Structure 1
């Protein structure tokens, strides 16, 4: 008897920001699988479950393990922070089930993404069209990322940057800033959010011209405004065109 796989977006990780459907899927699962850090976030309120954790860069093996568990008849929740379909585990899980010609059902359950969580803390910077770009070139060639940054800049999109800087990628963010400065003014508002909606949360509003001087790491989401973004009462707001 086949089981089922839920690919669950758990949002920032706190119980307050997990959707009722995501919580119900995890509570109804036999096994919760995921990256160890995410497992640690949900263990306090799912203590009676079986857990299967793994480290970073083990995504393929993790999905293969989840599929094998489901083949034994178990219902498994594979969890991702934020939304599982945005730089998460949804795509690779679906691909692996297909590659093995399995008839196991995969259901993707959405969660609050880092962009959405960060934007709410900053004000309303995503009120008009925006682009989400990851600066990690682990799976996407850097040349492609550069092309996308130019496209977002020339299109006057608000840009939400994921994975802006790591210990080994110290210059990627500086390059992204230089590219976007070709299209936006140095005084363009920028929001910086670390650990959105988690215990170590920090928020800051600065400018594109000052962004290189800010403390940014892999736990940071950077939202860069466009020509219609302003700071209103210490909040970032991208105007949509309403007549006030």
Structure 2
């Protein structure tokens, strides 16, 4: 489902949630040919533009502000529309006839295929957007937030997710540790708070995702067990458990989520 030569283009959008340290970043790195957009402020000191994450080379771009996020999304949009786009010392090219449609090159020497855009730190990204809105309004960052600012943030956040959804890549987002559990064990059509303190629920945003994946971990003598509960409009049975290496379940899970046979 990931390679352009396998089948007609089928792209989807998945949200992975779970508490800090449960393995969300590992999950992202296990996606097919990932490009990590890192908005997780807790991971910023270890993030590099070209990183060896969990034993594999992964291209990574650090996002420290809402403006950075706009810049990286425009980069992907330009590459999709024009066939090539540059950002700092990275070049993203669309390769007609190639096994993977897009390749990224760093420093004119290191080239990697890209099939999945992985956005890590969705909760922190929302906080960056709120900071940006407060700055533009001339209000203090630690002061009270006006309801109108929440609504503007809600609309802009939803708009950014919609732009990602339209790109010719799979999109996998991780974060939102504060999502209400009842929203996932019950009917997700009720919407979720962004990120629990936002005060505005979004039916439209949650419906952009093909599925919501909750990662949980339990450490024993066998190692760390990850339990992945999958929600969404798909044919996957809904739950699987595995030790240490999510690669074994990522591909069949994604295939089912995207409606593959």
TM-score tier by shorter-chain length is 0.3 to 0.5
Structure 1 or 2: more strand by fraction: 2
Report the structure number with the largest CA radius of gyration. Answer: 1
State the TM-score, normalized to the length of structure 1.
0.33
TM-score, with normalisation over the residues of structure 2?
0.31
Q: Which has the higher contact order (CA 8 A, sep 6+)?
A: 2
